[in-house]
Amino acid sequence: MISFSEFETEDGSPLYLQIIFYIKRGLVAGTIAHREELPSRRVLSALLGVNPNTVQKAYRLLEEEGLVESRTGAASFITIDEAQKQRIKEQLLDADLQGLVTSMRRMGISRDEAVRLIEKAWGEPT
């Protein structure tokens, strides 16, 4: 069963997207695996303190993307292969990196300065 213990709501982006990205990042890291079960809508909504409809929307979109399978009466579960995993990883990384580089460059920060800032923000070299 997927754990949402590290989930924390962030900025102003829609909650259902935050849930989707949380799951996708777990898929990329391998902490969420093929055939793994998703918490039920009711359980997850209680866990995250959001509305069941919001969870449902996230699950529905993941299902439309082919990453989740649902069968009435049974738990939903993850379905993913290596090709999809690689595609998602690139998507997520691209979004993260492009945003950061654009932002920092616009702020007049050099590449080396950016690297120092990131190393500092990262903390211990995990």
Residues that bind a copy of itself (CB under 8 A): 6, 10-14, 17, 21-22, 25-26, 28-31, 89, 92-93, 95-101, 103-108, 110-112, 114-115, 117-119, 121-122, 125-126
Nearer to DNA, 37 or 119 (CB): 37
Q: How far apart are CA 119 and CA 40, in angstroms?
A: 38
Residue 38 interface partner, choices DNA, a copy of itself, none, CB cut-off 5-8 Å depending on type: DNA
Q: How far apart are CA 24 and CA 85, in angstroms?
A: 9
The H or E element containing residue 100 is helix 82-106
Within 18-77, which residues bind DNA (CB under 7 A)?
Answer: 38, 40-43, 50-54, 56-57, 59-60, 70-76
Nearer to a copy of itself, 66 or 99 (CB): 99
End-to-end Cα, the chain, rounded Å: 25
For the chain, the C-alpha Rg in angstroms (whole number) is: 17
